[in-house]
Amino acid sequence: MKTKKLALKTVYHILVIAFGFVMIYPVLWMISGSFKDNSEILRGSLSLIPSEWKFSNYPTGWKGFSKISFARFFFNSFFITALSTFGTVISSSLVAYSLSRVKFRGRRLWFTCMLATMMLPGQVIMIPSFLIWYRLGLANSYVPLIFPYFCGQAFFIYQMMQFMSGIPKELDEAATIDGCSKYTIYSHIILPLLKPAIVTTVIIQFYWKWDDYMGPLLYLSKPASYTVSLAIKMFADAASTTDYGAMFAMSTLSLLPVFLIFLFFNKYLVEGIGTSGLKG
Amino acid sequence: MKTEVIKAKARKIFYSNEMVGYVFAFPFIFGFICFSLIPIITSLRYAFTDFSMGNKTIEFVGGANFKQLLGDEIFLKSLGITLKYVFISVPLKLVFALLVAFVLTRKTRMQVLYRSLYYVPSLVGGSIAVALVWKQLFARKGLFNSVLANMGLGTINWFGDQKLALYPLILMSVWQFGSSMIIFAAGLKEISPTYYEAARIDGANTFQSFVNITLPCLSPIILYNLVMQTIQAFMSFTQAFVITAGGPDNGTMMYALYVYNQAFKYNHMGYACAMSWFMLIVMCIITLVIFKTSRSWVFTESGD
Amino acid sequence: MIKKLLATFLTASLILGVCGCANSSGQEQSGGNTSSTDTVVEADPSEPVTLRMAWWGSQTRHDITVAAIELYEEQNPNVTIEYEFYDFDSYFTKLKTLVASDQVWDIFQLGGNFPEYIDKIYYMNEFIDNGTIDVSDIPESYLKITQDTAGNQIGLSNGLNTYGIAYDVDMFKEAGVPLPTDNWTWDDYKNAALKISEATGHYGSSGLASSEFIAGCSTFIGQQGKVGEYSFFNLDLTGMGFDDAQMLTPYIQMRADLINAGASPDAGAEMEITNIENDFLVTGEAALTWVAVNQFPTIYDICKEEGRNLALATIPRVSANGPAGSVIQSSQMLCVSQDSAYKAEAAKFIAWFQTSVECNQILNGERGIPVADSVRAALEENLTEGQQIMYDYVTLVGTFETPEKVNVLSPDGQDEVVDNYRNYIQQVVSGDITAAEAAEKTYADAEELFK
């Protein structure tokens, strides 16, 4: 009986690991590609170990194009991503608090609007938003890429509301009796308890924004202002007989921040998603 | 004395529910009006004009754009392709997400690691970098074909055949089941273990308890994931833009890509707005259908 | 050599002129200029000036253009040039958004599709007349290729150019296929492609999709009938230049046949070509491809390094003694933008870019044969092998009998027609429609532009 259990357990682990390996194979392949010679990549070699380690892909790629190095693109991406993630966390938690904890007139209406925004296809508003920013003379700047995130993101507002519904209302009531205003309840009780949901928001918003391609494609035009994703696409298009090795090297680097954030906050990821409110 | 009264009054207003609510909700209300409502209305207005960038005179053309839509072969084709993409990728993605989430509920020390492993594709999948890798994987001499060739099978010209070209994109979407998986995992955690124990006492095996306990308990979350993933799939743009640019013969011309092309490549803004609106309507209908049918399969806990 | 070319140019310039006005029909012709004569700011030489500039092209072009810009900045310390560069499609996508917002780059590159952007172009006459820029080094005839009939200087040409077929000499020999002659026909071309692909397993004919429509399909129309009888669009870009859609059919059929036979890349393979430098001819997987000849020296050098030997042939003809259909044209030009705050400074840069020997030694004719006499003379002194072939080829094309009037411009909206045309070919390949139907559809799409 015990051996059977052990055998089952082993099979379980082997299967999970094997399938997981297949899942991340393309990513591993890309990473190993960053150490391969261009010709080896083009031959479609399956191997994850380069036949000859070519570390020079990294310095080659890092040089970027036309005197703008990837240092610049990384800085741009960090700047945009950090600010908009910060904005999302602050604004979404404020809004989520008001919609889930404060009984004010119009709350239902705004909640419905929030749900509607969540389901609104971006394409519908893409063109007019673009034109509005142009009229404001801000289309060639980071403002359209950052500012809207300070106005709350429906998806995260919703997630945080779900999470808040799991925080006992009694805490608020006790605090009110102690003389706390709604403002202090938010800053002293809800916000600290919201930590797991905030972490989830940070992870997801960070990589959404970091990977974002359409936004920068529409709004950025000077190469010096490009984000990493835009730069990599440019790199792939313009490079003569595309240097896949260097491209993969930069791609690998571009995924690094996302990985780091994820590894750092990983264990909170599931905790931060509240689903209780989804029921009923 | 008077200032005291005013102060008190001000304080009362400041701390009233109305005030607090609107202070906290202000960012959203502002954002909603500026970045959703106004653009939506503008978009609707443009949909009835021949608006194009650089063209200073905008002419009202009535329903001409919508009429043109129905005769536009590429539009109809892209609508069909997008529906195909949604109907294949979303169910597959959810099934995978749920199965893997369920399998990974098993408490082991490796759980966190495993979950991360399966989450990696979602983490990186939306990036240009991975799209470029995907393009290379399915290229004529790419990884997939070299595997096939090694096994003595003929190679497949994925992006040369419009009937096949969509599948690498679908596969890529399914591959990124991680984010749905995380949400399922969070939901699974909240199913009370007593249910399972009770079932086990009644002699149910894993499969039976999955069908009879897990699925019903998770059904609201399935609904949530279904709606969100469907919407996301409809808007899918980057993959097609980077990997196939819509080709061959518009075989991967996703709706969002065609809107983008009409708007920014051919500069038919009015027409593109009409297309966006058409899409909004189609999606509303589909979402509505999902919600309507959900009444028959979403299980609500009584007394809540 | 110049003399030989001159005749061609005079006619070409007439046409450019025709188009200049034709396009503005409906809007006031002055769209280009009147409004802003008074807005020109004469910059103080010490005042810092920032100019924005953009172009499209391959990596080679980006690198040399940036080097040239840096040289200019060095010589003019008050000027900073912010540059952007794109592949062809992205360039025009971006330009359209800038047109909408009146933020077009101070200096921008345009080709035959300039009529679409005429409202955004600031004519350069004023700067030539008041001596801001000195273009005396550019022969009158070459200035004319970028003027309209009213004599408005739309821009300054980046160089002379024409289309040709670059081919791998050894691959032809290996397959035992006779090398192209100056008047080879489409049948010869097709047979060569088929035979080579059969013998070598490589593509007989590759082709960057974006140049195929103009170099192939539209030339094919001009080659039919008498010299100058037909053209794809009519000369003033107000309608079609031929009546019978079926004139396109043999060409479309040939393209589809080649793809079906595996002698030309199918849609999937074609997608892998992003610019001339990774064309299958250059990667050694095809025997020939279309080029705008200014691109030839670059790919010649790349192939030379790998021990391969490229040559240039003419675009095949419909019949050996029929019209050649090729014309020499301005490759692209640089224009001053109507939105620029420093129009004079922009014009100065453009003039320098086209006439400075120092600058062009960096640019090295990559955009075509330079138009300024001294520059051409300086470059001709030490031509590379590839450039020599290009010069000889352009001279050869200059000897062909050309119609009195030609039109190398494209009407507004051509992008969509070309995209559709490519899809129709794919539909012929997959057997969904016949070549005759594809021809009809392409014709109908093109005609639609003028409604």
Interface test with A, best of C62, C69, C80, C98 (most A CBs within 10 A): C62
Residue B119 CB contacts under 8 Å (≥ 6 apart), including other chains: A262, A269, B178, B179, B181, B182
Higher pLDDT, B110 or C64: C64
Query: Does the beta carbon of B266 lie under 8 angstroms from any beta carbon of chain C?
Result: yes
Structure tokens at C74: 């060095």
pLDDT tens for each residue of B96-129: 999 988 888 777 777 778 888 888 888 887 788 8
Residue C6 CB contacts under 8 Å (≥ 6 apart), including other chains: C141
pLDDT tens for each residue of A60-98: 888 877 678 899 999 999 999 999 999 999 999 999 999
pLDDT tens for each residue of C167-179: 999 999 989 999 9
Asked if the Cβ–Cβ distance from C278 to A242 is below 8 Å, we say yes
Nearest C-alpha in B relative to C268: B160
pLDDT tens for each residue of C242-267: 989 999 999 999 999 999 998 888 88
Q: Are B28 and B166 contained in the same domain?
A: no
Q: Are B3 and B116 contained in the same domain?
A: no
Report phi then psi at C407, rounded to 5: -135, 115
Q: Are B24 and B152 contained in the same domain?
A: no
Q: Are B14 and B73 contained in the same domain?
A: no
Chain B, residues 230-249, CB within 8 A of chain A, namely 231, 234-235, 237-238, 241-242
Q: Are B100 and B235 contained in the same domain?
A: yes
Asked if the Cβ–Cβ distance from C267 to B53 is below 8 Å, we say no
Give the pLDDT score at C32. Answer: 38
Nearest C-alpha in B relative to C420: B249
- What is the total count of domains within chain B? 2
Residues in a beta bridge with C336: C107, C122
Q: For residue C428, is pLDDT > 80?
A: yes
Question: Domain C163-326+404-448 has what CATH class?
Answer: alpha beta
Residues of chain A contacting residue B43, judged by C-beta atoms under 8 Å apart:
124-125, 127-128
Q: For residue C8, is pLDDT > 80?
A: no
Asked if the Cβ–Cβ distance from A67 to C277 is below 8 Å, we say no
Nearest C-alpha in B relative to A93: B24
pLDDT band for position A279 (50/70/90)?
very low
Helix axes B128-137, B143-150, angle to 10 degrees: 30
Nearest C-alpha in C relative to A237: C274
Q: Are B15 and B103 contained in the same domain?
A: no
- C-beta separation of C302 from C284 below 8 A: no
Residues of chain A contacting residue C52, judged by C-beta atoms under 8 Å apart:
222
- C-beta separation of A77 from A194 below 8 A: no
Per-domain residue ranges of chain C: 2-159+330-381, 163-326+404-448
Q: At B172, which CATH number? A: 1.10.3720.10
- C-beta separation of B83 from B278 below 8 A: no
Region B222-228: mean pLDDT is 88
Nearest C-alpha in A relative to C57: A238
Query: Does the beta carbon of C97 lie under 8 angstroms from any beta carbon of chain B?
Result: yes
Region C314-318: mean pLDDT is 91
Nearest C-alpha in B relative to C412: B266
pLDDT tens for each residue of C321-367: 888 888 888 888 999 999 899 999 999 999 999 999 999 999 888 88
Does some domain include residue B52?
Answer: no
Give the pLDDT score at C316. Answer: 92
Residues of chain A contacting residue C62, judged by C-beta atoms under 8 Å apart:
65-66, 238
Question: Domain C2-159+330-381 in CATH: superfamily?
Answer: Periplasmic binding protein-like II (3.40.190.10)
Give the pLDDT score at A275. Answer: 59
Query: Does the beta carbon of B277 lie under 8 angstroms from any beta carbon of chain A?
Result: yes
Q: Are B150 and B292 contained in the same domain?
A: yes
Query: Does the beta carbon of B270 lie under 8 angstroms from any beta carbon of chain A?
Result: no
Give the pLDDT score at C20. Answer: 35
Region C300-316: mean pLDDT is 90
Distances (CA, A) of C75 to A119, A176, B198, C335: 56, 71, 86, 21
Which of C62, C97, C282 has the CB atom closest to A65's CB atom? C62
Give the pLDDT score at C44. Answer: 57
Q: For residue C297, is pLDDT > 70?
A: yes
pLDDT band for position B283 (50/70/90)?
confident
Higher pLDDT, A140 or B27: B27
Q: For residue B7, is pLDDT > 50?
A: yes
Q: What is the mean pLDDT of chain B?
A: 86
CA pair distance B59, B50, nearest whole angstrom:
6
Secondary structure in 3-state letters for B16-58: CHHHHHHHHHHHHHHHHHHHHHHHHHHHHHHCCECCCCCCCCC
Q: For residue C211, is pLDDT > 90?
A: no
Q: Are B72 and B206 contained in the same domain?
A: yes
Q: For residue B51, is pLDDT > 60?
A: yes
CA pair distance A241, C273, nearest whole angstrom:
9
Residue B19 CB contacts under 8 Å (≥ 6 apart), including other chains: B13
Q: For residue B201, is pLDDT > 50?
A: yes
Asked if the Cβ–Cβ distance from B133 to A251 is below 8 Å, we say yes
Domain of B78 in residue numbering reads as 66-297
Give the pLDDT score at A2. Answer: 74
Nearest C-alpha in B relative to C423: B249
CA pair distance C178, C192, nearest whole angstrom:
8
pLDDT band for position C210 (50/70/90)?
low
A–B interface: beta-carbon pairs under 8 A:
279
Q: Does residue B54 come out as left (phi exceeding 0), alpha (psi in the -120 to 50 range) or beta?
A: left
How far from chain centre, in Å, is Cα C421?
A: 19
Pick from A38-47, A119-128, C127-136: least confident: A38-47
Asked if the Cβ–Cβ distance from A131 to C100 is below 8 Å, we say yes
Asked if the Cβ–Cβ distance from B143 to A44 is below 8 Å, we say yes
> Given the DSSP bridges, would you call strands C107-110 and C329-330 parallel, antiparallel or unpaired?
unpaired
- Chains with 3 or more CB pairs under 8 A to chain B: A, C
Region C213-230: mean pLDDT is 86
pLDDT tens for each residue of A164-199: 888 888 888 888 888 888 888 888 888 888 888 888
Q: Are B171 and B242 contained in the same domain?
A: yes
CA pair distance B267, A143, nearest whole angstrom:
24
In chain A the domains, ranked by start, together with CATH numbers, are: 2-61 (no CATH), 69-278 (1.10.3720.10)
Interface test with C, best of A38, A41, A42, A66 (most C CBs within 10 A): A66
- C-beta separation of B286 from B117 below 8 A: no
- C-beta separation of B49 from B271 below 8 A: no
Does some domain include residue B30?
Answer: yes
Is there a common fold for C2-159+330-381 and C163-326+404-448? Answer: yes
Give the pLDDT score at C73. Answer: 93
pLDDT tens for each residue of A197-210: 888 888 889 988 99
Does some domain include residue B189?
Answer: yes
pLDDT band for position B231 (50/70/90)?
confident
Which of C97, C271, C427 has the CB atom closest to B53's CB atom? C97
Region B213-232: mean pLDDT is 88
Distances (CA, A) of C9 to B116, C13, C142, C236, C423: 66, 6, 7, 17, 35
CA pair distance C260, C290, nearest whole angstrom:
19
Higher pLDDT, C46 or C134: C134
Give the pLDDT score at C168. Answer: 92
**Other residues' Cβ atoms within 10 Å of the Cβ of residue B295:** 8
Amino acid identity, residue B64?
A
Asked if the Cβ–Cβ distance from C100 to B54 is below 8 Å, we say yes
Distances (CA, A) of B20 to A152, A170, B34: 17, 19, 22
